Amino acid sequence: MSVNVKKTLAFCLYRYFPHGGLQRDMLRIALACQRRGYAIAVYTTTWEGAPPDEFKLHTYHPTGFTNHGRMRQFHAWLTVKRVHQEAACVVGFNKMPNLDVYFAGDSCFAQRARRRNPLVRLTGRYRTYAALEAAVFSPGSPT
């Protein structure tokens, strides 16, 4: 006897707020997938407003002093949550490791940083965001 189990798609983004372009794209794609029979799990640091019915919302509130420090904590939390064990596919809307699919809604961080003062590349912010970008686009990436 076979059991009809919905496949889960995991959508990961730093923050959800209803008026962000990337956020609206994520919501439209997730709702379209839900209409096609997929269960939707969303992993984020915050969700402003009410999530759609039947979305399984997972939030983590990092405590770092800097934005890039909080994002490092968010990625560590996603690793601990073992998102791949729950989801058939992990879709990221921000650059992060261990994605199956990345929705490219923002520009290349490393390219923008190269246009600035070379000392910018010595900062923790640069190292963090460059590493997150490399996790998506490096040749060994599973994304």
The DSSP line for 90-114 is EEESS--SS-SEE---S--HHHHHH
Q: In the chain, what are the domains? A: 8-106 (3.40.50.2000)
Q: Which two tokens stand for residue 140?
A: 């060994």
What are the tens digits of pLDDT across the range 1-39?
Answer: 443 457 999 999 999 999 989 999 999 999 999 999 999
Within 8 A by CB and 6+ apart from 81, the residues are: 43, 58
What pTM value is reported for the model? 0.85
What are the tens digits of pLDDT across the range 62-114?
Answer: 998 888 889 889 988 988 887 778 889 999 998 888 899 989 877 555 556 56
